[in-house]
Amino acid sequence: MQRRRRVTTLLLPLVLLLAGCWDRREIDERSNVLATGADLCEKGQGCNLIVTRQIAIPGRIPLGGATGAPAKGESVVAFSTPGKNGPDTARKAQAELNRTVSFAHTRFIAFSEAFARQGLREYLDYVRRVPEVRRLMWITITEGKASDVLRSKPSLELVPALYVNDMIDDAVKAGRLPDIYLGEFLTRISNKGEDTVAPIIRMIGLDHPALAGLAVFRDFKMVGKLTPDEMFTQMQLRGHRKGAESFEVALPGGNSANIRVYERTARYRLSQNQGRLTCRIQVRLETEVLQLSPELSGEDPKVLADIERRGAEEVVKRANALMKKLQQEYQADILGVGEHVRGTMPKYWKTVSEDWSKAFAKTQFQVEAEVHIRRTGLGTE
């Protein structure tokens, strides 16, 4: 008995050796890529693309809010790697780094406009297959080089990738940008009756990335751009609920009113006649007055009714201009009309699903708008 106990006591610590974890890896033992950007290679350089990765320097990123003094020096380093395709550049980047590259904390992925116009199918296939990549990260198109955005150092935020991330996050929450994260982007691309958009980032100076409208895609290729105003029209037509835009309504006598949209809804009514599709979109905007010309009174119901009527006309005018651009220039159904057709007119859909872009271009659109002014702000008269 005594002997057995002694043997057991001796053997027991060996159990500790059994404990193990193949996948234990501390967060600062990895090269965390915070953002990725892809540019086309210039001719004669012997590569297809250059991928720039913004990598966090361990210990330099403040964790858990703004407590404590920020560490001195840069918090990130940007590496540019030329290569044949995404995985190729990742391999090369890995060879140049001391720790295993991880994409688990990547906040956004940026493609230069030139790259996006060549098509993203191949690169996104890679992105979709890597299990670490989160579908919630943002996808953006940069007007110039993607590497310029990744190398910029916005002064308002310690970590550059977080500046862009927060900028998009906040704009989406406030209703200034459609909520298109990577997963949603892929979903819309996959949908047969829908094309996708992605936010455009423009550099102001060297260190100041800013949002500048939307990139329009047809299938996996970027085909055009929308200005911020057109983007808001698109959001009105899609009925993105939370609104943020304001616009000016011209009134008779040289007067004008500025109104701000805070809620949007849109209803789709589809019908077809001898193979020709008609789509009625009823947009409804809840607004408040931001500014009135001095001659006008916000308490006068006639004035408000006039602003509502002319505001609606303005909305329809902008919508028609956008639809014309989408149908004739881009042939890109970024409203997802085709999805409504697929859902509600399955028989008709079978006849157009193979080439929806063409059918979309031929669809007749009737946009109707209702503008309601609910508040006039704190000032009176």
Partner 1 sequence: MGNQSGEEHGSITPYQLTAIAVGSIIGVGVLAFPRLLVEQAGTAAPLAALLGAIPPALSWVAWVKVGRKFPQQTPAEYVTKLIWPPLAWVYALLGMIFVLIITGLTVREFGAVVKTSVLPNTPIEVSISLLLLAAAYFVRYDLQVFARVYEVFLPLMLAPLTLIGLLSLKNARLVYLMPVITDWLGLLKGIAMASVGYIAFVIGPFLLPSLTRPKEAVKSGLWGIGLSLFVYMLAVTASLAVFGPEELKHVIWPTFELVKTTTVPGFILERLESAFLGIWVAAVFTTVGGTYYALVVTIAQFFKLGDHKTLVLPLIPIIYMIAMGPASIHSLYRVVTFFGLIGVGLVQGTGFLFLLLSVIRKKGAQPGATKA
- Residues contacting 12, CB < 8 A, separation 6+: none
**Element housing 22 (H / E):** none
Contact between 288 and 223 under an 8 Å Cβ cutoff? The reply is: no
**Structure tokens given for 174:** 């406030």
Task: Please identify, among the stretches 29-37, 60-68, 293-301, 337-345, the one whose residues bind partner 1 according to the rule CB under 8 A.
Answer: 337-345
Q: How far is the CB of 374 from partner 1 (least distance, A)?
A: 26
Contact between 345 and 258 under an 8 Å Cβ cutoff? The reply is: no
Complex with partner 1: residue 77 or 186, whichever CB lies closer: 186
Q: How far is the CB of 179 from partner 1 (least distance, A)?
A: 8
Contact between 272 and 278 under an 8 Å Cβ cutoff? The reply is: yes
- Residues contacting 114, CB < 8 A, separation 6+: 39, 40
In this structure, the chain runs to a length of: 381
Number of alpha carbons in the 13 Å side-chain half-sphere of residue 348: 21
Q: How far is the CB of 377 from partner 1 (least distance, A)?
A: 30
Residue that has been written with the tokens 């953002």 in this structure: 35
Q: How far is the CB of 102 from partner 1 (least distance, A)?
A: 11
**Element housing 267 (H / E):** strand 256-273
Complex with partner 1: residue 80 or 187, whichever CB lies closer: 187
Per-residue binder mask for partner 1 (CB under 8 A), 291-330, x = binder: ----------------------------------------
Per-residue binder mask for partner 1 (CB under 8 A), 180-209, x = binder: -x-xx-xx-xxxx-----------------
- Rounded Cα–Cα distance for residues 62 and 78 (Å): 18
Task: With H, G, I as helix, E, B as strand and everything else as coil, classify residue 66.
Answer: coil
Complex with partner 1: residue 71 or 136, whichever CB lies closer: 136
Burial of 52 (C-beta count, 10 Å sphere; 0-12/13-18/19+): buried
Query: Residues 6 to 45: which contact partner 1 by CB under 8 A?
Result: 21-23
Task: With H, G, I as helix, E, B as strand and everything else as coil, classify residue 43.
Answer: coil
Q: How far is the CB of 346 from partner 1 (least distance, A)?
A: 4
Q: Using CB under 8 A, which of 195, 230, 308, 339 touches partner 1?
A: 339
Query: Residues 93 to 152: which contact partner 1 by CB under 8 A?
Result: 128, 131, 134-136
Q: Using CB under 8 A, which of 214, 333, 340, 371 touches partner 1?
A: 340
Residue 240 in the binding site for partner 1 (CB under 8 A): no
Q: How far is the CB of 120 from partner 1 (least distance, A)?
A: 14
Q: Using CB under 8 A, which of 336, 360, 367, 376 touches partner 1?
A: 336
Contacts with partner 1, residue ranges (CB under 8 A): 21-23, 128, 131, 134-136, 181, 183-184, 186-187, 189-192, 336, 339-340, 342-344, 346
